[in-house]
């Protein structure tokens, strides 16, 4: 055996030393990155409906066809997005908003919502989606609307889907979220719009 050839114990010792040096080097970086990720991740990011105007939500005049009637709707909302981080920017890659009455989809926003765009730290962006049109509803939905109108309060839901991108140091993360925003109005009547001024927070559903 060559005297200059390292023994198995020396090879093992060298391997253990290299492993320990790697652990010493990477562990602080990994812990630091984990802390930053836990601190900056957008788990508590939630849109908010600041106000809304319901100009129409009524059944069209005329006889029902195949047990269906036309529901006329006209809704506009102020939807705000708040970036509360002090240093971190958010990039919105895609935004979609859809209105519902019960299980009936009233349709996506009439105007395409702006995306992509960047939102700086400690900043609020307000968008103004509107929903107008007519949709066929069955007798159950028509009866529910009649009941709510008689009770003096109608309920609507605006669903918001977001694709966000965060960048922490050199790491970029994509997040996809869905939110439900519940609104309630007095029934609009005699061409007088109903106003929702209380504001409401949207809640994460996905």
What is the pTM assigned to this prediction?
A: 0.77
**Pairing relation of β-strands 48-59 and 200-201?**
antiparallel
CA–CA distance, 125 with 79 (Å, rounded to integer): 8
Summarize pLDDT for 12-71 with one digit per residue, the tens: 667 666 766 665 555 665 666 666 666 656 556 789 999 999 999 999 886 555 578 899
The CA angle 126-127-129, to the nearest 5 degrees, is 150
Summarize pLDDT for 152-192 with one digit per residue, the tens: 999 999 999 999 887 766 667 788 999 999 999 999 987 78
Q: Give 45's contacts (C-beta < 8 A, 6+ positions apart).
A: 82, 83, 84, 90, 164, 177
CA–CA distance, 2 with 70 (Å, rounded to integer): 94
Percent helix, strand and coil across the chain, each to the nearest 5: 20, 50, 30
Q: Give 179's contacts (C-beta < 8 A, 6+ positions apart).
A: 46, 47, 159, 160, 161, 162, 202, 203, 204, 205
Kindly tell me the burial class for residue 97, based on how many C-beta atoms sit within 10 Å of its own C-beta (0-12, 13-18, 19 or more): buried
């Amino acid at each position: 055996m060559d005297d200059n050839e390292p023994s198995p114990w020396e090879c093992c010792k060298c391997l253990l030393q290299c492993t320990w040096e790697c652990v010493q080097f990477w562990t602080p970086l990994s812990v630091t990155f984990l802390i930053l990720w836990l601190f900056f991740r957008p788990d508590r990011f939630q849109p908010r409906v600041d106000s809304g105007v319901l100009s129409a939500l009524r059944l069209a005049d005329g006889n029902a066809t195949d047990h269906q009637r036309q529901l006329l709707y006209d809704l506009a909302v102020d939807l705000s997005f708040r970036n509360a981080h002090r240093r971190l920017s958010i990039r919105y890659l895609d935004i979609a908003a859809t209105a519902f009455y019960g299980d009936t989809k009233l349709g996506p926003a009439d105007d395409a919502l702006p995306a992509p765009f960047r939102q700086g730290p400690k900043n609020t962006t307000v968008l103004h989606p509107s929903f107008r049109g007519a949709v066929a509803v069955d007798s159950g939905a028509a009866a529910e609307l009649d009941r709510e109108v008689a009770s003096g309060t109608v309920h609507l839901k605006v669903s918001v889907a977001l694709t966000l991108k965060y960048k922490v140091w050199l790491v970029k993360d994509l997040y996809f979220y869905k939110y439900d925003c519940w609104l309630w109005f007095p029934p609009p009547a005699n061409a007088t719009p109903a106003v929702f001024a209380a504001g409401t927070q949207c809640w994460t559903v996905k």
